[in-house]
Each structure stands twice: as C-alpha cells, then as structure tokens.
Structure 1
Amino acid sequence: MSIDSIQDLEVVNSFAQLPPAFYTRLATTPLRRPRLLHANASVAGLLGLSPRALAGQDFLDVCAGSVPLRGGQTLSAVYSGHQFGVWAGQLGDGRAHLLGEVITPQGPMEIQLKGSGRTPYSRMGDGRAVVRSSVREYLASEAMAGLGIPTTRALAIVVGDDPVYRETEERAAVVARVSPSFIRFGSFEHWGGSPQNLRILLDYVIDRFYPECRVQDNPGESALRFLRQVVARSARLVADWQTVGFCHGVMNTDNMSILGLTMDYGPYGFMDGFQINHVCNHTDAQGRYAWNAQPSVVNWNLYRLASCLTVLDIEADALRAELQHYEDDFLAAYRGNLVRKFGWLQWREGDDMLVDDWWRLLHNQQADFTLGFRRLAQALSDPEPWLDLFSDRAAAQAWLAAYAQRLTLENRPDAERIAAMQSANPLYVLRNHLAEQAIQAAHREDSGEIETLLKLLRDPYVEQPGYEDYAQPAPEWACRLEVSCSS
C-alpha cells in the first residue's frame, strides 16, 4: 500500500546503533526559502511513497533538511581514505547527513541529504552543494540505474536562495540520495589502526549485506569471504563502466562503495568521441583516473581495503589470495558485456584482437562511443549511418569486414542478433551537453529538461520518436565543457 506522507514511513537506524566513534549526531542546516525542483516518482515508489506524498509540504521539509525524518536519527559518518593515490587521513561526510533507514520490500534503504550543511568533517568546506553539481548527480544516478549498473539513487532535488562560492557565486541545492548503505572502502581504512572498531564495522556490514559470508566461530574466514565478494562486485562494476564509456572521475578510496555501487557522482563523464586515455576530471592533471586506468585503480583500491584487515590477525597471504581473483572476475564481466554488445553468443579465441582493433579504430578517429556500438547492430545491412561516425571510412570498412567474418562463426539469425545488440547498446546516455542543458534550465527553476532526460534514461535502449536530438553526437560547443572536483 502506498504511503501518502514521507513522515509515515517505517524508519530504523541500524548505523546509529554503532558506537558513537563512527559518526556525529547533528542537525542539518536548512536552505533559505527551499523549493522542490524535482521529485523522482520511480525512487519514491521503491520507498513505498505515493505520488501524492511528493506534493506534500512534509516531503519538501524533509528533503530540504528543514525538519528531521520522523523516527530517524540524523548523523554524519566519519571515514578516511586515499585521494589521488595519497593518504588523506580523516575525511567523512563533510556535507551529507544520514536521516534514517526506511524499511522497504527490497530491504532497508537509507535516505541521505547531500549539501545539507557543515559537519565536523567539513574541514575547510562550507557543507553545501550547488545547483550544477546537484543536477549532475541527480541525473547520473538515474542514468546508471537505467543502464542496469549498480548505483545509489536520487529521490529529490531542492534548491534554495543561499549563495555558494565555487569558481563563481552559485546557488545552493540539496540532493536526497537513497542507498542500502553509504559505507565505503574509506570507512574501513579509518579503523586500520583500531582492531576493535574495525571488527565492529566488519560484523555490521557482513550481518546486514553479506550474511552468506558468515562462518560461525571463524571470523577470519568470514572476513576473507567478505573480501572475495567485494572483489567480485567491484570488478563487475568497473567492467560495466568500461563498456558504456563511463568515467567516474574521482575514484578515491572514500568514493568506493563497499557494496559495489556507483556512488559520489562528481566530475564524471560519459564519453562522446572515444579516447582510450580520456580524462573527464579537469582537476586530474596526471590522468590517474583516465578511462583505461579505471580497472587498475579499482584493483589498487581493493588492496588498500585488504590491508586494513591485517590488523584482525588475518594472514597477508590469505588476503592476497582473495585479491588475485580480481583480474579473472573483471575479464569475465568485461568479455561477457562485450559478447552482448557485439551480438555474439560466446567469447572465442581471437576476439581479443578484434576488440583491440575496435578500440584502436574508435580512438584514432575519435568516433562516438555510444553510437559506434549502437549503429553497429545494423551496419552490415545499412552501413552508411555507422560509417558516418568515422573520418577514415576505409579503415572503418576494413574493421567491419573482419567483424562480419567473425559473425559467420555463429549460426545466429540477423534479426535475433540485431535485437540483442539493441538491448545491450544504449541509444541515450547522459552526455555532458545534455546535463548542461538541464542545469541551465534548473537555474531558471525549470525542471522540464530533467523530466525529459529521466524519461529517456530510464529506458535508454528503446528509441523514442521525437527525441532524435538526444541521440546524436555531441555538438562542437560541448568540447569546451569542463568538469572538476567542484562539479
């Protein structure tokens, strides 16, 4: 049965039951004259909220941080982490507040506000988010969900009149985020020198999210099984990122979900023209988080996570043995994704060479990542739309001939293959210029572009008549867009 008020949700506070060292309980800092820019009916439905609930004053009050969630215990969590490969020490929810945990048919879901004011972990920050970054996160999390990639979700975005100073003066906004948990690798790193608290956190995470890993009377084996599952989930996640052309932009250990979710959207980007070493974050001058580096960065982050567990008297060799599964896990997920995207039935010997040639073709000609895959489905019968993506058509035709030869190894009807490829290769992704158009409209408090993009991104594999402009290569002006850690 749908609930007509956010204040009538069944709320628990399991994270708040951890010792006080894990968080600080504090109130949010309300926005000045808050207005609801957009509410996500899809995510609201996951929580059991009716459409009527989204129009209520209490929904705005909670999502703006003006009043607490009834039954919740508002808090901000502490964690640490490595940022750009360097130990940064204590970090934490510098601008986020966990309101509580909602009981749903899919399991408990936490509601967290981002941009809701200063906390003890803000360091030199103001505790705020701006309209620009909030719209980007709101759209990106829903885009990833539409692609079937594990992610946190977005419930609502609220704007206010408070000025916020980044590169220029901007206006404050708050995003209400939803996830089973916001615990991250950095949460474990924070307790790397405290075996007692690390054990408390590990037991909490295993009991709530990895119960199959629990081995009675053998905590060391439980920890190893837990690590094995985190390795597998993280490998699958980054394989998904690679095969949709997604760059996270700031893969610090404090931005890595312990549940294998995409989280903390900032200077991310879906590639337009493909570059194997594409860097979407203007702040990342060294290219640490380039597209082709993402799999190795995840592996590096997993080693940082595993190193914390040595304080629990777990042998380093046993931890390394679990980490060694990463490459196989990644390759299995990566190749599985590519099998579907190329319309094959299975991975065969020699496919690595054809795939390498594919990336080289896209890179050398800066061809559009998304449309390169999407139009390939029909390129054998109608090659012109696909060939139009390449400046060197002869090179593209040569690769297409090799691809056609590869297809002859499998007795698959063309119609079946085309349908399968179209269900694996999105037509719509959240390109930077589309997000920018939604941001500009949001500055006018017009949520029309947000609504349009959500409509397309929730089902990105199905062509929607009348929205052809959203399925085109990026315009020239999009090349001048830059996103950074302040995004």
Structure 2
Amino acid sequence: MSLPPSAWTHRFAGLGPAFHTGLRPTPLPVPHWVGQSPAVARELGLDPAWMQGDEALQAFTGNTVLPGMRPLASVYSGHQFGHWAGQLGDGRAILLGELPGPQGPLEIQLKGAGLTPYSRMGDGRAVLRSSIREFLCSEAMHALGIPTSRALCVTGSPAPVRREEIETAAVVTRVAPSFIRFGHFEHFSHSGQHEQLRTLADFVIDHFYPVCREAPGNPYAALLEAVSARTAEMVAQWQAVGFCHGVMNTDNMSILGLTIDYGPFQFLDAFNPAHVCNHSDTGGRYAYNRQPNIAYWNLFALGQALLPLMDDQQQALDALEPYKALMPAALQRRMNAKLGLARVEDGDSELTDTLMKLMAADAVDFTIFWRRLSHAVVGSLEPVRDLFLQREAFDAWAARWRARLQAHPGFDADATQAQMRRTNPQIVLRNHLGEVAIQRAKQGDFSELARLQNALEHPFEALPGHDDLAGFPPDWASQIEISCSS
C-alpha cells in the first residue's frame, strides 16, 4: 500500500461532533478509471504505480476505507439564490482526511460517494457528465493561475443515476487546503451556536490566517477583511479570463478565496456581460457582470454570521469596505496585463471600458480576441480587426491602445508580446470542448478527455495538433444547457 496510516491527519475532524458526522462512503459496482491528474498525485506524494492499481481505484470510488482515513460529512447552512436555505451540508461529499502537500496538509474529499445525513432530497451521487467537467475545470483553473480546489481523479461506474434522464455514476476526488465555506459560519451563527462559531473561526485563523491573531483590534474582523481581500482577487481573476461560476451561493464560497464547487460554470464564448451560464438561474442572479457584486453580497452575509464575535456591527462594515476598492483595482491590473500595459495610469479604466463595450456590441469571442491581440503587438492588427463589425470604432480604440503602449518608457514590443501571451490563454475549457469529451467518455473512450486535459494544463502554449481546441465554437455550442443538475 502506498499510503501508511500515519500519512493521514484529521484537523477538521478534531473540531468535534457538532461540525460533522462520521460515516463510510457507499460503494459503487464495477468501478473504472476515467481520468487522473499526475500533477496532483505528485503533490500528494502518491506513487504513480499505486495510482494505477485496484487499491487506489477502490479507495477513490468510496468502496474501500484505507487504514488512517476517517471519513466524514460536514454540516453547514447558506443562502441559495439570495434566500436563506437553512441547514445544508455535505450531501454527497465525504472528507477522507488530510495528506501532506508542498505548502501544508491538503484535504481529500470524495464527491458523489453516497448518501449522508445532509443529503436532504438528494441521492448522494454525482454523474459522469458533471464529474468530468469538475475534474477538467479544477485543473484548467489551476493552470491559469486562478485559486481553486484541485482534482486528483475521477472514477466511473455503470450504476444508474436519475437526473433529467438516466445517467451513470462517477466520483471525483477533490483536493484543497480546506473546504470550509461561508455557509459553515452561517450555520453556527444562525442556529445560535456561538461557541462553535468561535471554535470554527479560531480554527480558520490559527491554520490559515495567523496574521489576523496579531492584527490590532478584533481578530474576527481582521479575518473578515482578509477573506474579503482574497475573494476580491479571485473574482477579479474570474472576470479577466471570462469565467462564469454559475451558482455563487454562500455555501459555494470558500473561506480561503478558492474557486470551489464546479457546477454550471462556463467560459464565455461571444462576449456578453449579462450572460447567464446556469440554465436553472432564471432570474439571472449570477450573470457574469453581477459576479463582483454577488461576491460582496456573500461577504456581507459572512460578516453578519461573524457579528456575535465582534464588538459591534461597524467593525464588520469597516472590514468589508476595502472590497469596494480592492476588487475593481485588482480587475484593472488584470485587464492592463491583458493589454500589455505594465502599470495602471489615469484613463486606463476608460480605455478598458470602451473596448468591452465594443466587444459586447459585436459579440466578439472573448478568448480569441485577447489571444489575437497578444500577437498584434508585433504583427498585424487585421486578424483582431476582423472580429469586429464596427471597424472604424475599433480602429479608433486600437490607435489609443498602441499610443498608450508606446508611451511607456522602455517599451519593448517583443517583450510585451511575450508577456501578453503568458496572460491571455490560447485555450480555455469551453462548454463544447467538455461536451465532446463527455460524449466520448460515455461510450468508454477517454482519449479525448486526456487530450483536452493535456491542452488545458498548458493554456498559454500553442500545442501542435491542438488547433481545433483553440478555434471558434461550433454553432451547436450555443444550444448546450448547463444547470444545477449534477
């Protein structure tokens, strides 16, 4: 066996029974490998040969509990689509424990491992379709440099699972320093369990935000401010790469500022600021352009949950206030980097806003525009210009952009182009790319999944033989509907 029992630690389990329920995963019949991330396996120190074997397959399907594991499901609450939903919890996720990682312990969690006390009306399972999407996107976001949970592997089973239609079961093994959510704090605050709330907050501060203990004033207000800063940076990175999360409920928000719970996500194709990627989001609450404000709304809910640990409400409001400046500033820095501008100057936000309005008016493909612009610093602007119907308006904007570039002291066109190509990806996980891999996987062919995974792990490189993954989406892509059903 590759994992000695002593390798496992269980910090979250040590919080006590108020925080979780111990239980074993529910086995699945005839499991098989769907995909693995060798990079995550290396970070966890897992032997590649063991990862190909039956013991690993059974363990990461939930069929076997290895010595040293202490599986549990945690309880939390939350706001869903803006409404208080009460107690939620890990309805199909089971935490196995922690393994050592390069920067500290990493939690290992099975998603789709069976019923828990928090499953409510659910069946505790995940389907192959959504598990592949989460696996691919977790690793794709990491390669883009965006804070995220990781995915070690996906296993599948012929066991039937009913969603809109009968699908087959799968389990994705997720990895993160912690899966604690805003909703964990909401649970103990709203239920009046303030000692448990303090215990949880102290746990998060001690293990992940130790500087908050040393900060002047209230350490829990300092925690709220630190979480707000991380969340601001994460959402700015989402916006800059055209990523829509799809279901930003408070129970899907990481206390560490990580992208978690990949459900109805989407990377933008044609740029539409009001795009809603979640077919279940009929009100458009989680549209792309609303994500920054929704993140603040969720942080405000976290602040309300932490109020019992603060001196007064003003402390929470003061801790939240920096987000209003941090998020737009972080986004502007990201947009400047995409434009090849080394620093932010007066007028840059207007330059960016004008461009985004032009892109929206002509429904310009988001990823292809930025990649072509990266090449246009040295080469011709014609391939970029061809993306627009309003050619004269684009020409006027492009003239301003070139003038802004060349006004920078020591401007070097080749260096700027190289920097932009390291910032603007060649490939992202578009819905249609994932759909092709999923449809082949349903037939037992995982070769397209592996090819796509390899490309997504190198998003800024032009990989030979992968040009088809970087092109415009086919017409049928606009018909793909992604919902909360997974």
Report the TM-score, using the length of structure 1 for normalisation. Answer: 0.97
AA matched with 1:436? E
Alpha carbons of structure 1 residues 476 and 199: separation in structure 2 relative to 1, 3 Å: same
Note the C-alpha offset of 1:369. 0.5
Question: Does structure 1 residue 406 correspond to structure 2 residue 404?
Answer: yes
Question: Does structure 1 residue 453 correspond to structure 2 residue 452?
Answer: yes
Partner residue, 2:383:
385
AA matched with 1:122? S
Structure 1 stretch displaced more, 415-424 or 243-252? 415-424
1:158 to 127, 130, 155: 155
Note the C-alpha offset of 1:298. 0.4
* Deviation per residue, 1:302-343 (Å, 9 max, x gap): 010011111124311111111000012112211111121100
Alpha carbons of structure 1 residues 352 and 30: separation in structure 2 relative to 1, 3 Å: same
CA distance in 1: counterparts of 2:310 and 2:376, whole angstroms: 57
2:297 to 297, 300, 320: 300
1:340 to 322, 337, 342: 337
Question: Does structure 1 residue 309 correspond to structure 2 residue 297?
Answer: no
AA matched with 2:458? D
CA distance in 1: counterparts of 2:162 and 2:249, whole angstroms: 24
Uncovered stretches (5+) of structure 2, i.e. residues with no partner: none
CA distance in 1: counterparts of 2:140 and 2:366, whole angstroms: 16
AA matched with 2:391? R
Question: Does structure 1 residue 396 correspond to structure 2 residue 394?
Answer: yes
Other structure's SS at 2:18 match: helix
C-alpha contact 2:70 2:96 (8 A) present in aligned 1: yes
C-alpha contact 2:107 2:178 (8 A) present in aligned 1: yes
Superposition map of 1:46-61 within 5 A:
46-61=43-58
Note the C-alpha offset of 1:459. 1.6
CA distance in 2: counterparts of 1:281 and 1:103, whole angstroms: 35
CA distance in 1: counterparts of 2:386 and 2:438, whole angstroms: 30
C-alpha contact 1:143 1:430 (8 A) present in aligned 2: yes
Note the C-alpha offset of 1:212. 1.6
Question: Does structure 1 residue 105 correspond to structure 2 residue 119?
Answer: no
Other structure's SS at 1:309 match: helix
CA distance in 2: counterparts of 1:8 and 1:41, whole angstroms: 22
Other structure's SS at 1:149 match: coil
Alpha carbons of structure 1 residues 7 and 440: separation in structure 2 relative to 1, 3 Å: farther
C-alpha contact 1:160 1:173 (8 A) present in aligned 2: yes
CA distance in 1: counterparts of 2:273 and 2:102, whole angstroms: 41
Note the C-alpha offset of 1:6. 4.1
C-alpha contact 1:6 1:58 (8 A) present in aligned 2: no
Partner residue, 1:436:
435
CA distance in 1: counterparts of 2:121 and 2:59, whole angstroms: 26
AA matched with 2:444? E
Question: Does structure 1 residue 369 correspond to structure 2 residue 366?
Answer: yes
AA matched with 1:409? A
CA distance in 1: counterparts of 2:56 and 2:202, whole angstroms: 34
Partner residue, 2:465:
466
C-alpha contact 2:27 2:113 (8 A) present in aligned 1: yes
Partner residue, 1:70:
67
Note the C-alpha offset of 1:395. 2.8
Partner residue, 2:245:
248
Q: CA RMSD in A?
A: 1.4
Partner residue, 2:196:
197
* Deviation per residue, 1:404-441 (Å, 9 max, x gap): 22223213111111111111100110000000011011
CA distance in 1: counterparts of 2:2 and 2:385, whole angstroms: 53
CA distance in 2: counterparts of 1:382 and 1:415, whole angstroms: 14
Report the TM-score, using the length of structure 2 for normalisation. Answer: 0.97
CA distance in 1: counterparts of 2:208 and 2:117, whole angstroms: 28
AA matched with 1:471? A
CA distance in 2: counterparts of 1:374 and 1:428, whole angstroms: 9
Note the C-alpha offset of 1:287. 0.7
Note the C-alpha offset of 1:9. 6.8
Partner residue, 1:43:
40
Partner residue, 1:115:
112
Uncovered stretches (5+) of structure 1, i.e. residues with no partner: none
Structure 1 stretch displaced more, 5-14 or 31-40? 5-14
Note the C-alpha offset of 1:7. 5.3
AA matched with 2:343? Q
2:10 to 10, 13, 16: 13
CA distance in 2: counterparts of 1:295 and 1:376, whole angstroms: 25
Note the C-alpha offset of 1:389. 2.0
Alpha carbons of structure 1 residues 414 and 80: separation in structure 2 relative to 1, 3 Å: same
2:89 to 57, 67, 92: 92
C-alpha contact 1:428 1:470 (8 A) present in aligned 2: yes
C-alpha contact 1:5 1:58 (8 A) present in aligned 2: no
C-alpha contact 1:152 1:261 (8 A) present in aligned 2: yes
Note the C-alpha offset of 1:400. 1.4
AA matched with 1:457? L
CA distance in 2: counterparts of 1:215 and 1:163, whole angstroms: 52
CA distance in 1: counterparts of 2:66 and 2:203, whole angstroms: 23
C-alpha contact 1:215 1:221 (8 A) present in aligned 2: no
C-alpha contact 2:40 2:150 (8 A) present in aligned 1: yes
* Deviation per residue, 1:359-394 (Å, 9 max, x gap): 101101110101111111233531222123223333
Other structure's SS at 1:87 match: strand
Other structure's SS at 1:286 match: coil
Other structure's SS at 1:377 match: helix
Partner residue, 1:223:
220
**Alignment identity in percent?**
50
CA distance in 2: counterparts of 1:353 and 1:66, whole angstroms: 56
C-alpha contact 2:310 2:316 (8 A) present in aligned 1: no
C-alpha contact 1:6 1:59 (8 A) present in aligned 2: no
1:275 to 272, 276, 285: 272
CA distance in 2: counterparts of 1:453 and 1:9, whole angstroms: 36
Note the C-alpha offset of 1:397. 2.3
C-alpha contact 1:188 1:305 (8 A) present in aligned 2: yes
C-alpha contact 2:221 2:310 (8 A) present in aligned 1: no
AA matched with 2:198? R
Other structure's SS at 2:254 match: coil
CA distance in 2: counterparts of 1:295 and 1:473, whole angstroms: 27
CA distance in 1: counterparts of 2:286 and 2:380, whole angstroms: 37
AA matched with 1:254? D
